[in-house]
Amino acid sequence: MIRHLFFSPAGGSTTSAQSLHLAPGGVTNDKNFGKPGREALVCELELLAKHQLEPGATKENIVIEGLSLHSLPVGTPVKIGSVDCVLGQRLSCSGEVPSQAGERGVFVSVVGEGDIAIGDAVSITCATSQ
């Protein structure tokens, strides 16, 4: 389930939000929109708690609870709210938080488009055969 949402506007600082719009390219209105491989950073609330960090501390876009994306292989299809995404690169370390090595978050590539909000479900989906 989505617990927290953040975006960083160009020239601005990380801002919390009740909802975000995802589209191929990432989080609209975020400074990283359209940067390949950096579409949206998802972090697990459980990992933040383990490292005694507050949501937003690692500059993630989406904080989830109850699903360990970190344990899933790259390429796994997931649904965030109503938006189809694919797991990508794991972000292995934050320079500000060296104790968090290997557990900062997982980038997702956004395949679909739509709004997501705090409280929306996050689930693993089955790949469809073509």
In the block, which residue shows the tokens 């005694």? 52
Give me the number of domains the chain comprises: 1
CATH of the domain at 20: 2.40.33.20
Report if residue 130 sits inside a domain.
no
The predicted-structure confidence for 39-81, as pLDDT tens digits, reads as follows 999 999 998 888 888 999 888 999 999 998 888 899 999 999 9
Enumerate long-range contacts of 47-50, CB under 8 Å, 24 or more apart.
Answer: 47/100, 47/103, 47/105, 50/103
pLDDT at 27 over 90: yes
The mean pLDDT of the chain is 87
Report if residue 129 sits inside a domain.
no
Domain range holding 77?
2-124
CB 117 within 8 Å of CB 70? no
pTM of the model: 0.89
